[in-house]
Amino acid sequence: MLYSLQPAIIYRAHLVLTFCNGASMKRVLYPGSFDPFTNGHLDLVRRACKLFDEVIVGVAVNSGKSPMFDMEERKSLIEQSCAGMPQVRVVTISGLMSKAIKQFDAQALLRGLRVFSDYEYELQMALANRSLEPDCETIFMNPTHQNSFISSSLVKEIAGLGGDISEYVPPAVASAVYAKAGK
Ligand code: PNS
């Protein structure tokens, strides 16, 4: 346990030293339901780590969805999936995203765009967040095309019908979904 925490502690010490010297920290907040976290989400986190000093994955409430996992379960699965990635912090967010971006001192929200049909929903959300908080920027990144068809709902449906989801989600997530689906 302590051993797995070491890279995170060393990385945080590095950040403190760097930013005490006057550099500005680039931090992005990647919000979503993550019910559950998929390889597509992991792909985006990895890409964001190349661009930002810190990537905060925010497990949030989508009032239109009935989740399979509670917030703490989702947070724990993401932490297990991102173990060994010291730039990544996982949090739960119960309120508005436009407030959370300020709370976590992030420069932007990150959202994934898989296919063109995602865009309408994403644009509406980005504009609503900016209307609530004028400084709230949303940036979009694309997962690799092999991950572009993966969605959390597809994963739950496949597992629920006895299919193999090991190609679509990290191992810890696969076990947890099978356990919930009773498979
Ligand atoms: O993965 P999802 O379900 O597409 O993520 C949507 C989510 C959770 C990011 C969105 O519903 C959200 O931001 N919820 C927090 C509450 C909020 O700010 N709602 C207004 C969004 S414009």
Is residue 85 domain-resident? Answer: yes
Please report whether residue 165 resides in a domain: no
Question: Known catalytic residue: 65?
Answer: yes
The verdict on residue 179 lying in a domain is no
**Domain harbouring 8, CATH code:** 3.40.50.620
Is 53 part of a structural domain of the chain?
yes
Q: Which residues pair with 112 in a beta bridge?
A: 141
154 occurs within a structural domain: no
Burial group, residue 82, by CB count within 10 angstroms (0-12, 13-18, 19+): buried
Residue 74 lies in a domain: yes
Question: What's the confidence (pLDDT) of residue 24?
Answer: 80
Note the pLDDT tens digit of each residue in 97-107: 999 999 999 99
Q: How many domains does the chain have?
A: 1
In a domain, 180, yes or no: no
The pLDDT, as a whole number, for residue 8 is 74
| Ligand 1 atom with the shortest distance to the CA of 111 | 9
Q: Is the pLDDT of residue 123 over 60?
A: yes
Which atom number of ligand 1 is nearest to the Cα of residue 125?
Answer: 22
Q: Is there an atom of ligand 1 within 6 Å of 49 CB?
A: no
C-beta separation of 120 from 140 below 8 A: no
Residue whose Cα lies nearest atom 17 of ligand 1: it is 96
Residue 102 maps to a domain = yes
Tell me what the mean pLDDT of segment 10-38 comes to: 83
Question: Do 38 and 150 contact (CB within 8 A), yes or no?
Answer: yes
What does pLDDT average to over the chain?
92
Q: Which of 65, 102, 153, 183 is catalytic?
A: 65
What is the reported pLDDT for 4? 56
pLDDT digit string (tens) for 127-183? 999 999 999 999 999 999 999 999 999 999 999 999 999 999 999 999 999 999 986
Q: What percent of the chain has pLDDT over 70?
A: 92
Tens digits of per-residue pLDDT, 48-75?
999 999 999 999 999 999 999 999 999 9
Domain span including residue 61: 2-14+24-148
| C-beta atoms surrounding 63 within 10 Å | 4
Question: What is the C-alpha separation between 50 and 52, in angstroms, rounded?
Answer: 6
Predicted local confidence at residue 22, as pLDDT: 55
Give the residue from 114, 122, 120, 121 showing the smallest Cα distance to 138.
122
